[in-house]
Amino acid sequence: MKTGDRIQNSMWLCPICQAALQRQANSLICESRHSFDIAKEGYVNLLPPNKKRTAEPGDRASMVAARREIHNAALYMPLADQLCSLVSENAPHGEVLDIGCGEGYYDGHINTQLPHVNLTGIDIAKPAVRSAAKKYKSNSYAVASSNALPLPAQSIDLCFSIFAPTNSDELSRVLKGGGAYIEVGPGPSHLYQLREALYSNAHEHKPLRTEIAGLQLVETGDLDYLNDLTTPLVRAIIEATPMAHRGDPNMKSSLLERPSMQLTFAFSWRLYQKPPDQPVE
């Protein structure tokens, strides 16, 4: 598929009046003539300026670059494989939405393993969406908030979010009846060695939630493994997380003097389903 085809065929809605957007030259335009430029990387910015809480919401460009470095090192590959098997079981030919897609690593994995999935991704951070759109050209990307998804009701077979915030009303609105939602968050011991080395009062992560209004929990799982990391990768993990601005600076410099470090990667995932539509009598 050529760059731009996915934008041409995408389902994006106008974030101002919620009408369908149609492509005209290098813009998407609704019937009320609200117009949104398609960036050269192929994404569209559908976050109205009055909906931004800060000038540059979401992850900064340096965090996006650090996350790309981490993903290039395949540190999260077992999680990506787990996600692909869940998508394959639940929507192998469907419309799939990545909420808080970041630089798109999981989308690229799905493109390779499940070529019949139609992937759409949103993130509130423009540098993240730009990076995803530039690398994963067969997917459709927009800058948008998970609190106001610019997509039609009942249009998505499966949504997923990996370490990113979602809104239960919006999940229920965009999912088709019987559609699936996969939520992935940190397991209790995720990167624990790093937090222990940076904070004097390190805690385990709280268990991932198991209830979302409007959806039914179907399956849960955990995934834990160890990775040996070189110092540049430890530095990238710190840069890509809130640890960049927290923790004792002295503890951080002595941590980064170590030649390598063994870290636990721990995830919890939940599979939810939107109740199927009732047949009309």
Binding site for Zn ion (CB under 5 A): 14, 16-17, 30, 32, 34
Q: Which residue is nearest to Zn ion (CB)?
A: 14
**Closest by Cα among 248, 241, 246 to 263:** 241
d(CA 266, CA 280): 44
If the CB atoms of residues 57 and 188 are measured against ligand SAM, the closer one turns out to be: 57
The entry of Zn ion, ligand SAM, none that residue 147 binds, CB within 5 to 8 Å by partner kind: ligand SAM
162 near ligand SAM, rule: CB under 6 A = yes
Applying the rule CB under 6 A, the residues between 39 and 68 that interact with ligand SAM are 58-59, 67
Report helix, strand or coil for 57.
coil
The entry of ligand SAM, Zn ion, none that residue 124 binds, CB within 5 to 8 Å by partner kind: ligand SAM
164 near ligand SAM, rule: CB under 6 A = yes
107 near ligand SAM, rule: CB under 6 A = no
**What are residue 272's DSSP bridge partners?**
181, 217
Number of C-alpha atoms within 13 angstroms, CB side, residue 278? 2
- What residues contact residue 245 under an 8 Å CB cut-off, 6+ apart? none
Stretch that binds ligand SAM, among 20-28, 35-43, 140-148, 267-275 (CB under 6 A): 140-148
The entry of Zn ion, ligand SAM, none that residue 32 binds, CB within 5 to 8 Å by partner kind: Zn ion
118 near ligand SAM, rule: CB under 6 A = no
**Closest by Cα among 129, 152, 145, 150 to 43:** 129
The entry of ligand SAM, Zn ion, none that residue 105 binds, CB within 5 to 8 Å by partner kind: ligand SAM
Sheet containing 156-162, strands listed edge to edge, beginning at the edge strand earlier in sequence:
44-45, 140-143, 118-123, 95-99, 156-162, 175-186, 260-273, 216-230
**Closest by Cα among 65, 145, 150 to 105:** 65
If the CB atoms of residues 10 and 268 are measured against Zn ion, the closer one turns out to be: 10
- Interface with ligand SAM (CB under 6 A): 58-59, 67, 100-102, 105, 122-125, 128, 145-147, 162-165
